Chain A
């Protein structure tokens, strides 16, 4: 399990043994990227960054999921709940924005389908980022597209991550964890 976590962080972990085959020491190499720091701290995320080895990182995480398709909503919601998140679902960009409200944002993470009619994920993210509030949620895009331009545009509008559809539990877990850890790194820097 340690090996998996380290590999996810693009590092290496190995054990060295002595001549009798007993484990003598463990070595760990990790690579860290220097991140841009934000001026204002992310709220309430300290609970979620202090548990590096288990899925309790997600327990109690308040997520709002916006997807106009009923089947996708049902499946993605269940996947998130499996990880321990508390999920609220909405079926449009408008509903998403009204649930977030202009100042108080009880949600830690917003997961947005990019391709919604009337108001797409990019527009929703742009509007969320315009909020003056200190409590800005993390935003993760959901898209079937693998195009780099789409992913770049996500970053440009201020999103924190991208998950490819159809959603798999592992992919969801990894991206959520990465996004939370990056936020945590900014918090503690």
Chain B
């Protein structure tokens, strides 16, 4: 089993890279700061809910976009919700795709929308994988008896 300091360094490096590459932003930091003894699993809970909701939204989006006559207002409404939830947890790249997606909805540009949906799925899966990796690292640190470093 790797030593705690090593794991902690790995954690810091990984987290830093997530911020530098734009996967996460300050909203995520805020989430971590909201976690405390009275609510030790807060971040995991919010992120799990985000994963659940996102998967539903992506399904709804796929259905809406495959309609013979696409209801762009409906599509936009789903994207708006996705934009809101992703921005509250700090999933910056997902939010950015949502912004472009909404523009295509306004233009009723089917091609643009289809491309954005693909991109959205892609970015969502990326951030989900990265957050899951981050949580695994945290678990390893805790199991080795260490504490999670606070990122500023």
Contacts and interface: CB of A to CB of B under 8 A. Distances in A.
Contacts of A144: 83-84, 87
B87 A75 contact: no
B27 interface: yes
A69 B30 CA distance: 19
Contacts, number: 53
A71 B85 contact: yes
A169 B26 CA distance: 11
A78 B84 contact: no
Nearest to B38: A81
Looking at chain B's contact residues, the main secondary structure is helix
A72 interface: yes
B34 A78 contact: yes
Contacts of A115: 80
A79 B39 CA distance: 12
Interface residues of A, number: 19
B77 A78 contact: no
B7 interface: no
Given A74-B49, A75-B46, A169 B30 contact: yes
Contacts of A68: 81
Interface of B: 26-27, 30-31, 33-34, 39, 42, 45-46, 49-50, 53, 77, 80-81, 83-85, 87-90
